[in-house]
Amino acid sequence: MTFHLTSISGHKARACLAALALALSSTVALAAEKLQYFTWSGYELPDFNKSFLAAHPDGVEASIFGDDDDAFTKVKAGFRPDIAHPCYDKVARWNKEGLLQPIETKRIKNWDSIFPVFKNLPDLQAGDGKVWMVPWDWGNTSILYRTDLVKNPEASWNLLWDKQYAGRMATIDAVHDTPIVAALLAGVNPFDMTPEQMDKVAAKLREQRPLLSSYTTDMTSVEQALASGQLVAAMTWNASATSLKKQGVPVEFMKPKEGMLTWACGFVMLKDAKNVDLAYDFINSRLDADSGKFLIQSYGYGSSLSTAFAGVAKDELEKLQLPSDPEVMLKSTIFTGPMKQNDDVAKMFEKVKAGG
């Protein structure tokens, strides 16, 4: 908008400038009132927060990250959303950097419906009825393989090290996935390694590197490659198994004898959040039982809410390989908690991927 003031009298000019200032301030106010949400691809869907959008039409703007290491780097560098969606194992790092503000559980309407195993996680507690993260989703990481192309494999993570499938396998490009599996196979505690143990993990990763077609977090491309047969096996999350089975692709989501990886993620509020009330409205909308039910049925991920599981039939949960109580799952899986040497493992992993 451009104003030409040369032919306008002084008081009219001042009036025009005042009107312009008012318009600009209104635009800024509207922008400030739109919740800024930083999340994984696929989690920005409006179906997850229908009640929020009913109360605040067009009230959220989502930015997408590749994984929560990428998210941490961007937020640490100065990007400031209101709400972000990291996983539990990263929350302590965000908190250590002073990036978060506590969330009051009394303002979370369905807090009591969250499974105790998630809401009582140690690094979430901020004292006095407050937490650093509100758990929302959980799921598993495992090997998704073509049952017609990989015949009766041993139920083991070693499949992703099998030389007969060289060039037709992919793995997840994230510190809390592939290095953890390499550590399990090397007989090392993934969450607390000595330098010597880290060398063992690096050696295991180097052994795998020439067998892979890619390290990636692009699950859409992985699913397409599995569907076409370009890939025969890949490390994925539940959602890829759910998606390909719905398409009729002959795949199986393995239960490795060493254990699937189980993760839990949720919402954190940034210290400098400009829209705190909107943030609470958004979190509460995401904690509607229907939101959790949509998560379960669409992606095959678990909801943090017992009320969401109550709305899904038992046989459907069995097809999705989801128990109605996550504590049942955790008895046979590896829960991905904080890694004490996260930064060192990340550097090692980058070096290995680069050929070092």
181-75-77-337 Cα dihedral, nearest 10 degrees: -30
Residue that is written with structure tokens 């590197």 in the block: 209
Measured CA to CA, the distance from residue 259 to residue 141 in angstroms comes to 10
Which DSSP symbol is given to 171? E
Q: What is the pLDDT of residue 17?
A: 40
Asked whether residue 213 is domain-assigned, the answer is yes
Same domain for 87 and 155, yes or no, is no
Residue 133: half-sphere exposure toward Cβ, Cα within 13 Å? 28
Same domain for 100 and 180, yes or no, is no
Same domain for 147 and 131, yes or no, is no
Helix (H/G/I), strand (E/B), else coil: 249 = coil
Same domain for 116 and 98, yes or no, is yes
Q: What is the pLDDT of residue 71?
A: 94
Same domain for 102 and 50, yes or no, is yes
Asked whether residue 11 is domain-assigned, the answer is no
Asked whether residue 321 is domain-assigned, the answer is yes
Measured CA to CA, the distance from residue 348 to residue 147 in angstroms comes to 33
Q: What is the pLDDT of residue 10?
A: 44
CA distances in angstroms from 245 to 1, 165, 254, 255, 310, listed in the order given: 53, 22, 14, 16, 23
Same domain for 252 and 277, yes or no, is no
Q: What is the pLDDT of residue 31?
A: 46
Asked whether residue 270 is domain-assigned, the answer is yes
Q: Number of folded domains in the chain?
A: 2
Residue ranges making up the domain that contains 192: 139-259+336-352
Q: What is the pLDDT of residue 15?
A: 42
Rg (CA), the chain: 23
Asked whether residue 20 is domain-assigned, the answer is no
Q: What is the pLDDT of residue 33?
A: 83
Task: Retrieve residue 10's tokens.
Answer: 């002084």
Same domain for 254 and 266, yes or no, is no
CA distances in angstroms from 275 to 59, 60, 80, 279, listed in the order given: 11, 11, 11, 6
Backbone angles phi, psi at 59, to 5 degrees: -95, 5
Same domain for 150 and 246, yes or no, is yes
Task: Retrieve residue 340's tokens.
Answer: 């004490």
Same domain for 54 and 171, yes or no, is no
Asked whether residue 21 is domain-assigned, the answer is no
Q: Which amino acid appears at position 132 of this protein?
A: W
Which CATH number fits the domain that encloses residue 178?
Answer: 3.40.190.10
* Residue-by-residue pLDDT tens, the chain, 356 positions: 333 333 334 443 344 444 444 443 333 444 458 999 999 999 999 999 999 999 999 999 999 998 888 999 999 999 999 999 999 999 999 999 999 999 999 999 999 999 999 999 989 999 999 999 999 999 999 999 999 999 999 999 999 999 999 999 999 999 999 999 999 999 999 999 999 999 999 999 999 999 999 999 999 999 999 999 999 999 999 999 999 999 999 999 999 999 999 999 999 999 999 999 999 999 999 999 999 999 999 999 999 999 999 999 999 999 998 988 898 888 899 999 999 999 999 999 999 999 99
Same domain for 295 and 347, yes or no, is no
Same domain for 151 and 221, yes or no, is yes
Question: C-alpha angle 84/46/90, rounded to 5°?
Answer: 20
Q: Which residues contact 328 (CB under 8 A, 6 or more apart)?
A: none
Asked whether residue 178 is domain-assigned, the answer is yes
Asked whether residue 5 is domain-assigned, the answer is no
Same domain for 39 and 112, yes or no, is yes
